[in-house]
Chain A
């Protein structure tokens, strides 16, 4: 057995209805059977009731005949019937009571009167009518014991001294209306109805027996026939159903028969081709009923097709979407992989290497931002590039402000109203912001000014001391090279160095020295170039110089400058340049 996990369920009424229908059918069957039984029973009871009533009537008649009241028998029968309907007492009981009383009194009227009292007493006390009527019958004859035993309020002693009429009066007064009251009760009403039914049965039986008597059928036979009647009812019902089924079958057979089909076909053709065009003005061959149906069917077919197509499209779209999603997922995975590879590749790109190297050097903020921006552009990192551009703009504006401040220092020196502390603070801020490591004093010294930070005052610089040992080239200290260059090139600086001016003031910085060296080297190189051009133009043979470099060279310019210096020195000294000449 499979394990079932229902996702969607429903309540199926069919199963319940089936069971319900089965029970209903069963119930109906029972009802049917019960009805047949009832009919039979009713018939039997009717006959029995009639028979009983007949016996009672005969008994009454015999009793009345014995006291010479036989003539009153029909009227008394009617009286008893009415009395039984009014009180609910059975005809048999009343007949017996009346017979007993009439035998005692010998008078039908007195018997009726005593019977009425007996009924009152019986219904008022709940005693049996037969007992009461017998007690009254005996009391009528002088035997009061039975009446006393009824315990209806009389003692034997009381009754012995009284006349029957007195006793009857007392009883009538005492139980007057008891019967009327009792007949209003539900139980007595039911009894009265039952009595009515019994009488109806008697009448039915009387009629039935009377009718059948005429046809010379005995009661016993009648009972058997009535029982058979019930069976016949059942058979008839079944036969009716079978008949119905057979009739339907017969009709369907008739309908299916070729003759009928032929006739129907003729009729249809007649309607379609003759009556249709005449009455409805339709084209021959088109049935007036089917044309509209055809249109509807066609529309329905079309709609169904379109709905089916829509659904197919929806399904196809869903599939396509799924495919696209899968493809995208794949691509995303591939992109991730390629991003990793790209990151790795980036490390080996020359531009990036150079930028990274430059970023590692001593650079100011503007340069740093420029390099970082270049890096962002190479990375195609738009967001970072935008941020860096903004930062670079700020830094450049700060640099411009610093430059303008420094340029205006010369003019401000002679102005007694200049707010030097503010200016100096601003320059310091800008230097810090731009990450420029050059001391503010150096910047002032470049402009020929001396800054005293303790007093925040600026004066003209009378003397500049240069320390050639601390020359910076491109941010890196190259003391030996610079010293060599300086000693070889500039007589002014050499003289200054030789003069032994020591740095009494720490504001002389290597940057200034480097700047001066660079300017000097440039001038001398230009001169050397001019000389060389002169030699070339004079048709002099060209001299090929091979330079062997030993040791480390930091920059191409330095190398050139050093070589040129040495060449000049050789020329000054009147020496020839030889292969083995050592420059450094």
Chain B
């Protein structure tokens, strides 16, 4: 579950202007535990998902049935693993004004499918257009079997995940604690920098 902190954006800004070297070092400290989570998430991505022949990579790029639309993504393990990463960049504010400062990401399309399949409908959507009435259930079931069930980090379904979400759950907030500690240091250093600025600046 994300933790709210205040003043980090400003502190980062100040450090970026006054001492970018220090900010770089702090970023390295923040990144260290996030790399562990990303590595753990990558280790969860299998080479192929048994039972999902049409989802696994056939060795060539599939074409979309509808011209002009992108095809349903294939599960390419390398691409999915590369997409499991982290970011320290400030995200765009959501409708309520909340911004994430440190995030774990699952960037690839196939990775996003693996990550989230079954979030909304545990046994597949009833609006599925497949001729197989159990297609959704089989798809989700195969992934549950191969990778694992959805793990929830927060209170809403949006915090559920199979790769990065599961890795976050297994991390048990250790990374978060480290990140918060470092951010606290960042804020303190920034305040110190401001206090030492010559008057009038």
The residues of A with any CB-CB pair to B shorter than 8 Å are: 1-16, 293, 296, 300, 303-305, 307-308, 311-312, 314-315, 318
Contacts and interface: CB of A to CB of B under 8 A. Distances in A.
Contacts of B100: 4, 6-9
B21 interface: yes
Give the 9 A-B CB pairs with smallest separation, nearest first: A6-B100, A311-B25, A3-B106, A308-B21, A6-B2, A15-B93, A5-B104, A12-B99, A8-B102
Interface residues of B, number: 50
A2 B34 CA distance: 17
Interface stretch (B43-51, B56-64, B137-145, B172-180): B172-180
A75 B196 CA distance: 79
Given A9-B3, A10-B9, A3 B99 contact: no
A8 B97 contact: no
Contacts of B8: 8, 10
Contact of A311 (B9, B22, B176, B196): B22
Interface in B35-87: 83
Contacts of A293: 198
A325 to B, nearest CB: 14
Given A8-B176, A9-B100, A293-B198, 5 more contacts: A3-B112, A4-B91, A10-B7, A11-B98, A311-B25
B105 interface: yes
11 contacts: A5-B164, A6-B91, A7-B104, A7-B179, A8-B5, A9-B5, A10-B7, A303-B196, A304-B21, A304-B22, A308-B21
B105 A4 contact: yes
A340 B98 CA distance: 58
B19 interface: yes
A7 B88 CA distance: 10
Contacts of A2: 83, 105-107, 112
B102 to A, nearest CB: 4
A11 B176 CA distance: 18
- Which of B5, B25, B29, B111 has the largest number of chain A CB atoms within 10 A? B25
A1 B97 contact: no
B97 A13 contact: yes
A7 B29 contact: no
B91 A315 contact: no
B80 to A, nearest CB: 12
Main secondary structure on chain B at its contact with chain A? helix
A411 B115 CA distance: 96
A52 to B, nearest CB: 55
B168 A8 contact: no
B49 to A, nearest CB: 17
Given A8-B102, A13-B97, A3 B28 contact: no
A206 B4 CA distance: 66
Given A5-B103, A315-B28, A10 B4 contact: yes
B198 A296 contact: yes
Given A2-B112, A5-B153, A307-B189, A14 B93 contact: yes
B103 A4 contact: yes
A14 B10 CA distance: 12
A6 B32 CA distance: 16
Contact of A3 (B91, B98, B115, B183): B115
Contacts of A4: 91, 100, 103-105
- Which of A5, A6, A308 has the largest number of chain B CB atoms within 10 A? A5
A7 B87 CA distance: 10
Nearest to A311: B25
A16 B106 CA distance: 28
A303 B7 CA distance: 23
A10 B6 contact: yes
